[in-house]
């Protein structure tokens, strides 16, 4: 299969990524809800660095900033998928739903092409030649390896995509206003250092390993089960059923890591200021303490709303591309 598997997976991934990009943008916006709540009586120079971490300051530290701990901090109601979408369209225009789509194309080209192609290479190598079957454990292992490698390759585009998608929620004066994914990567490298392009990479790798293992392995396993039991023939119905099921499994498994990844990648670090989060664990703890454990499933509705169609489009397109390239 070799390079052919990479090309097939890349084409299918780009088609799926672009067609579901607005849902991915809504997911990112919803995952960032509640992150920067207003803080009363706080000196302006400390606002940016301390706002996300306020709930975790000690009593003495809080008193040093004259923050009345007894004053309850009202939380704005969380907006749902439809209301977030309508707000974006009303305030930023319909085109805003495709903010960062150039980063999606680059991300799918780097990340998904690598993971889909590498998974096929491992699948071909690890499939039992006598039975033409691959045990589920090997499928999962292949997904973990392929996802991890793909994520490491595609992380710069992932950071750029998250920032471009989240930009519209910031006040005008604070927006980054990247014109394209190349502009985003170039400016990040100059302003924050090349290392910033791999911010949150450990989370990206972990998420990609989980998504790829659950998505690709479950698709293959469900598809094989349907065909072996004669429930349906190898056609569109089987592909849609198996792919939507795989998308649901991937969404449930990956959402908590995805929330933390989004927040760490979107974090703005100004020179001389303390970062809002020191790392993934710190972000997770602060998120749970401030907003509760279910905050890790923020954006789950758009996640499954996107992951389901994305996975369906991905595998249906992949099966069609494979048919077209079968003789090559």
Structural domains in the chain plus CATH codes? 3-37+75-324 (1.50.40.10)
Residue 29: count of CB within 10 angstroms of its CB:
22
Helices (H) and strands (E) in the chain, counts: 13, 0
Q: In this structure, what token pair is assigned to residue 208?
A: 């990609």
Is residue 69 pLDDT above 60, yes or no? no
Maximum mean pLDDT: which of 4-8, 76-80, 208-212: 208-212
Torsion of CA 125, 128, 131, 133, to 10 degrees: -70
Q: Is the pLDDT of residue 305 over 60?
A: yes
Query: Is the predicted pLDDT of residue 65 greater than 50, yes or no?
Result: no
Instruction: Decide: pTM greater than 0.75.
Output: no
**Residues 261 and 200 sit within 8 Å (Cβ to Cβ):** yes
- Say what the pLDDT of residue 51 is: 38
Would you state the pLDDT for residue 148? 95
Confidence bin at 74 (pLDDT 50/70/90):
low
At residue 146, the pLDDT reads 96
Using the Cα atoms of residue 214, residue 16, residue 185 and residue 287 in order, give the sign of their dihedral. Answer: negative
- DSSP of 265-295: HH----TTS--S-SSHHHHHHHHHHHH-GGG
pLDDT at 174: 87
| CA quadruple 223, 327, 109, 140: dihedral, nearest 10 | 30
How does pLDDT run across 108-126, given as a tens digit for each residue? 999 999 999 999 999 999 9
Classify 37 in phi/psi space as left (phi over 0), alpha (psi -120 to 50) or beta: beta
Residue 128 bridge partners (DSSP): 133
Answer for the pair 245, 172: CB distance below 8 angstroms, yes or no: no
Query: How does pLDDT run across 229-282, given as a tens digit for each residue?
Result: 999 999 999 999 999 999 999 998 889 998 998 888 888 777 778 888 888 889
CB distance 111 to 161 below 8 Å: no
How far CA 105 is from CA of 95, 128, 242, 325, in Å, comes to 16, 35, 25, 22
Taking each helix axis from N to C end, the angle separating 201-228 and 136-166, rounded to the nearest 10 degrees, works out to 130
- Name the average pLDDT for the chain: 83
| Predicted confidence (pLDDT) at residue 309 exceeds the cutoff of 60 | yes
C-alpha closest to that of 118 among 153, 82, 166, 75:
153
List, for residues 169-186, the tens digit of each pLDDT value: 888 888 889 999 999 999
CB proximity list for 58: less than 8 A, separation 6 or greater: none
Q: What is the mean pLDDT of residues 215-240?
A: 93
Residue 222 has pLDDT above 90, yes or no: yes
C-alpha–C-alpha distance, residues 199 and 176, integer Å: 17
């Amino acid at each position: 299969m070799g390079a052919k598997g990479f090309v097939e997976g890349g084409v299918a991934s780009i088609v799926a990524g672009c067609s579901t990009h607005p849902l991915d943008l809504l997911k990112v916006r919803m995952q960032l809800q509640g992150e920067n709540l207003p803080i009363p009586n706080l000196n302006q120079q400390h606002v940016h660095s301390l706002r996300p971490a306020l709930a975790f300051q000690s009593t003495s530290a809080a008193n040093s900033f004259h923050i009345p701990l007894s004053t309850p901090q009202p939380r704005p109601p969380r907006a749902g998928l439809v209301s977030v979408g309508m707000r974006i369209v009303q305030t930023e225009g319909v085109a805003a739903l495709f903010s960062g789509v150039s980063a999606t194309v680059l991300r799918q080209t780097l990340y998904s092409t690598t993971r889909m192609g590498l998974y096929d290479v491992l699948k071909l190598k690890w499939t039992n030649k006598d039975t033409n079957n691959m045990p589920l454990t090997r499928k999962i292992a292949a997904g973990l390896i392929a996802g991890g490698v793909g994520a490491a390759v595609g992380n710069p585009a992932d950071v750029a995509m998250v920032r471009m998608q989240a930009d519209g929620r910031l006040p005008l004066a604070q927006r980054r206003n990247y014109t394209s994914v190349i502009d985003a990567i170039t400016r990040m490298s100059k302003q924050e250092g090349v290392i910033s392009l791999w911010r949150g990479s450990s989370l990206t790798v972990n998420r990609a390993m989980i998504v790829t293992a659950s998505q690709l392995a479950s698709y293959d396993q469900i598809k094989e089960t349907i065909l072996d039991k004669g429930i349906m023939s190898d056609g569109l119905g089987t592909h849609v059923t198996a792919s939507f099921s795989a998308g649901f499994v991937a969404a449930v498994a990956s959402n908590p890591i995805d929330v933390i990844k989004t927040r760490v990648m979107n974090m703005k670090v100004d020179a001389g200021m303390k970062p809002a989060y020191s790392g993934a664990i710190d972000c997770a703890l602060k998120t749970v303490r401030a907003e509760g454990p279910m905050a890790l499933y923020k954006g789950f509705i758009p996640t499954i709303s996107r992951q389901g169609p994305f996975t369906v489009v991905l595998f249906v397109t992949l099966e069609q591309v494979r048919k077209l390239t079968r003789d090559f």
